[in-house]
Structure 1
Amino acid sequence: MLFLERLHLTHYKSYESGAFLFSERVNAIVGENGSGKTNLLDAIYFLSLTKSAFTSQDALSIQHGADFVLIDGVFSRYEAHEPAINLAKITNDSEENHSPMAISEETIAEPSEESRIAAPLRSSQITISLPRGQRKVVMNDRKAYERLADHIGKFPVVLIAPDDTDLIREGSDERRKFFDGVLSQQRPDYLSDLLQYNRILDQRNILLKQFHERHYMDEDLLEAYSQPLVELALRLNAIRKSFLQEFLPVFQEHYAQLSESRETVEIRYDSEVDIEQFKHQFWLNRHRDVAAQRTTLGIHRDDFVFEIDSYPLKKFGSQGQQKSFVVALKLAQFHLLTQEKGHQPILLLDDIFDKLDDRRIAKLMDMMQDGTFGQVFLTDARPERTQSLLAESGITANIIRTT
């Protein structure tokens, strides 16, 4: 079992300073809107994936007026299946500047000596530092990674957030980003190939722009970028197709559970790389690429098409159907990551009680109660609602109050 044991923040978004100790199971982050609930959730995401879930630029995570941001946390993992330590009664009462939490006297029920022998605990201290205007550094037990990509997937997380329906409403970029994120946490080789593809794509696009501006084309030089790009495109395309075959039935099963099998859903992988003789077509497309000043064929143009009862979900799906669709996507991601890693990823639920109806909330609460999920973090602006839902489900949680 994987869990985040503790976290310390310095100059992270709204947090000048904050120190937190977490339960291995359910952690409810409650407080008024604007009090830092989502920022705390995002810091956990950042610690796991070396980037924010909500801002594309790292510098935006540095508190206004500060010169740096520091995120430091300890992930722990039991090496055998063993009941979790009971940290149920911890309460974090933050001051206005989010100072370190206060812990009640009934803090931690330690495991027995037999439990420690049966399930040894392994811990890793992860530290992310980002001075303003400088390079981000990620350290594992005080040793810096040579490549940030080496950290991705070691401490997997799944986030369910209010803006997840952008996957449906927005363009293909959002859907590719989601599936690339799922695959990157599962398969380090996929992430490595994807990063290399994007680097070569950027370099080729710069070259195409130069050819356009100077009214000439060096075909040998262009081929030096085109050949590895095509090879990577074919490899990534094959992985995406294979992954979707595995992902789709799991996703459909979760959707059926959420919707009580009222309709059928489908995900189609739409890729230009699937055309016959892609290598030859890519070469024939070079003059068009120069005119467009960009690479007009490749896996960077792929889309994942969402359908409900054989119709486009974006046009024909109700609000409830769309919400069920994106929650099922995330639950399928959770399922496959659990299968791949041999332990459950950390689950982050941002403001879901305001966005889901009672039936869907009840499904998620049942999954928290029956052990489907491991460590869970959820946010809510209404503490009394969270405490009521948890109590009704028989779930004991660590309540973290932000002010």
Structure 2
Amino acid sequence: MPEKTRSLAICIPSGKRQALESEGTRSIAQRSTNVKRRGWLLGPLRYGRIASTAGVRPGGCTMHLFHVQLTNFRLYRHLEVALDMGTTLLWGANASGKSSFLEAIFMLATTHSPRAGADREVIHWDATETFGIPPFARVVGRLQRADGPLTLEMVVQRQAAGSEEPSGRCQKRFLVNRQPVRARDAAGRLQVVLFEPEDLNLVTGSPARRRRYLDVTLMQADARYWQSLQRYHQVVLQRNRLLRRWREEGAPPGSREEVAFWNREMVEHGSYLIAARARFIAALGPLVERLHRQLSGTAEQLTVAYRPQVPCPPGADEAGIAFAYRQALASTWPREVQLGQSLLGPHRDDLSFSLDGVDLATYGSRGQQRTSTIALKLAQVEWLRRESGEAPIVLLDDVLSELDPARRSSLQGWLLEGGCQVILTATDLAAFLPITLEQSTVYRVDAGRWTPLERKSKADDLGKPG
């Protein structure tokens, strides 16, 4: 049996395989046209009915991740699954493996886990050394892009051969079409937007989460950003070690010259990060404003502003930012030695949000804050599509359960008409519109085992899995 046929035979509902093969790479945007012709109404409540969100559609080509294989990843000993072009819904109790599957895809795209504190955490807890090979976790994804098919692979492996200690150091290796590549060359080949429940607090949460939003987006679209970000973090780490030592022991003669090298590196890479972030937020602004108005059904204007810690003039280019950065470092040097840490740079940047000029984090309602976060995430999808010419894959980890009915309808309307491959998780099917279930491939997930849910039984199975 050919390899492609063999992969399609895995985890595909009976009766759907023939339709899947005949559809090929038919986009969900085409399906949504048929949905509207049948009279389905999706989107925010307006004038007693639900209005369409067709204006949100990103358009363009769509990446299709059509096959995923996991080995010793989290609770998965082995999983091999074919994914539909449209929406895939993973339904099951907590700790059943749904979020772990999204984590694996996210790591293929960005080279980093969205939740693991250390890479070793993704290796199955019972994985052991086999034939002298240390325990490892492996993720393989096969996708179709506009420029052709691509196979991505990531292996996380403990370095200490035969070590049973979970604290053993790990190394990550990446392959593209079976050829070894550096992490920075693997990042962005697959583009994703991950939406977690914690992201609903993006407006009011920590600045670190907002910086993460910037970094995860930009590192998928800009290889230099990924490289500069990695180098910048290394420089800040080394520089902080020096500053802490001088705080405890006193700065020796010639300390300024010693730190000058790290300052040059900090300015070089930090200036690029600031410039890239500023360009991104400037381009994102109109998208966020439009999407927010469509989602909220109001004329309220949502404004997102970038707040760099380096005091540089608005619209400054990279050279202007570097000049301002050097000046600021010179003036803050005594205070940095006193505190033992670097006080200026992208590692302390932030975003601010306002609605009609009023600070959203302080004065906005919870509903306004969540609508703004959804608009921000959907704008991230559209920006990536514009940058690459292809719609990224949207990953939603049990987000709908955190929204009220109106926002659930709005988000589901966008998902069905957005022209993206979507993979989402849920513990309760009652949060979904009937049309969403009809248009989705649904799997019941239990302890890492996937069971296709036949379309005729989806409505009967509404509720929490038993």
Query: Do they superpose with TM above 0.5?
Result: yes
Specify which of 366, 373, 396 is matched with residue 349 of structure 1: 396
Match of 2:281 in 1: 244
How far apart are the structure 2 equivalents of 1:189 and 1:46? 19
How far apart are the structure 2 equivalents of 1:226 and 1:75? 42
Offset, 1:326: 1.2
Count, aligned residues:
358
How far apart are the structure 1 equivalents of 2:268 and 2:416? 46
Specify which of 180, 186, 189 is matched with residue 224 of structure 2: 189
Q: Tell me if structure 2 keeps the 8 A contact 1:6–1:19.
A: yes
How far apart are the structure 2 equivalents of 1:123 and 1:299? 33
Question: 2:441 is paired with a residue of what secondary structure?
Answer: strand
Q: Tell me if structure 1 keeps the 8 A contact 2:336–2:343.
A: yes
Matched, 1:40 2:83: no
Q: Tell me if structure 2 keeps the 8 A contact 1:9–1:18.
A: yes
Residues 295, 350 of structure 1: alpha-carbon distance in 2 compared, 3 angstrom cutoff: same
Superposed, 1:249-260 pairs within 5 Å as 249-260=286-297
How far apart are the structure 2 equivalents of 1:385 and 1:288? 52
Q: Which stretch of the first structure deviates more once superposed, 58-67 or 347-356? A: 58-67
Match of 1:169 in 2: 204
Residues 387, 13 of structure 1: alpha-carbon distance in 2 compared, 3 angstrom cutoff: farther
Offset, 1:178: 0.9
Specify which of 434, 437, 442 is matched with residue 399 of structure 1: 442
**What letter matches 2:389 in structure 1?**
G
Offset, 1:19: 1.9
How far apart are the structure 2 equivalents of 1:127 and 1:211? 41
Residues 79, 184 of structure 1: alpha-carbon distance in 2 compared, 3 angstrom cutoff: closer
How far does the alpha carbon of each residue in 1:362-381 deviate from its partner, in whole angstroms, 9 at most, with x for none? Answer: 223323333x2321101111
Q: Tell me if structure 2 keeps the 8 A contact 1:127–1:142.
A: no
Offset, 1:166: 3.4
Q: Tell me if structure 2 keeps the 8 A contact 1:166–1:174.
A: no
How far apart are the structure 2 equivalents of 1:35 and 1:387? 23
Question: 2:114 is paired with a residue of what secondary structure?
Answer: coil
Instruction: Give unpaired runs (5+ residues) of structure 2.
Output: 1-61, 129-134, 159-167, 314-323, 447-466
Matched, 1:332 2:379: yes
How far apart are the structure 2 equivalents of 1:5 and 1:353? 24
How far does the alpha carbon of each residue in 1:20-44 deviate from its partner, in whole angstroms, 9 at most, with x for none? Answer: 1111211111112222212222222
Offset, 1:262: 4.7
**What letter matches 1:266 in structure 2?**
T
How far apart are the structure 1 equivalents of 2:312 and 2:387? 31
Q: Tell me if structure 2 keeps the 8 A contact 1:11–1:17.
A: yes
Q: Tell me if structure 1 keeps the 8 A contact 2:123–2:156.
A: no
Match of 2:183 in 1: 148
Specify which of 130, 151, 156 is matched with residue 129 of structure 1: 156
Q: Tell me if structure 1 keeps the 8 A contact 2:288–2:379.
A: yes
Match of 1:206 in 2: 241
Q: Tell me if structure 2 keeps the 8 A contact 1:31–1:383.
A: no
Offset, 1:359: 2.3
**What letter matches 2:409 in structure 1?**
A
Match of 2:409 in 1: 362
Matched, 1:10 2:71: yes
How far apart are the structure 2 equivalents of 1:266 and 1:141? 42
Q: Tell me if structure 2 keeps the 8 A contact 1:269–1:304.
A: yes
> Please, what is the CA RMSD of the aligned residues?
2.1
Offset, 1:222: 1.2
How far does the alpha carbon of each residue in 1:43-65 deviate from its partner, in whole angstroms, 9 at most, with x for none? Answer: 22122222222223222222223
Matched, 1:72 2:133: no
Match of 1:114 in 2: none
Superposed, 1:61-140 pairs within 5 Å as 61-67=122-128, 68-79=135-146, 121-131=148-158, 133-140=169-176
Match of 1:261 in 2: 298
How far apart are the structure 2 equivalents of 1:357 and 1:11? 37
Q: Tell me if structure 1 keeps the 8 A contact 2:66–2:144.
A: no
Q: Tell me if structure 1 keeps the 8 A contact 2:68–2:142.
A: no
How far does the alpha carbon of each residue in 1:344-368 deviate from its partner, in whole angstroms, 9 at most, with x for none? Answer: 1111111122122222222233233
Matched, 1:381 2:427: yes
Q: Tell me if structure 1 keeps the 8 A contact 2:124–2:137.
A: no
How far apart are the structure 2 equivalents of 1:210 and 1:6? 51
Q: Tell me if structure 2 keeps the 8 A contact 1:28–1:386.
A: no
Superposed, 1:242-321 pairs within 5 Å as 242-275=279-312, 277-321=324-368
Q: Tell me if structure 2 keeps the 8 A contact 1:258–1:328.
A: yes
**What letter matches 2:423 in structure 1?**
F
Offset, 1:247: 0.8
Match of 1:118 in 2: none
Offset, 1:385: 5.4
How far apart are the structure 1 equivalents of 2:426 and 2:185? 33
Q: Tell me if structure 1 keeps the 8 A contact 2:66–2:85.
A: yes
Matched, 1:50 2:111: yes
Q: Percent identity?
A: 27
How far apart are the structure 1 equivalents of 2:326 and 2:262? 13
Offset, 1:200: 1.3
Superposed, 1:21-32 pairs within 5 Å as 21-32=82-93
Instruction: Give unpaired runs (5+ residues) of structure 1.
Output: 81-120
TM-score calculated relative to the size of structure 2: 0.72
Q: Tell me if structure 2 keeps the 8 A contact 1:47–1:128.
A: no
TM-score calculated relative to the size of structure 1: 0.83
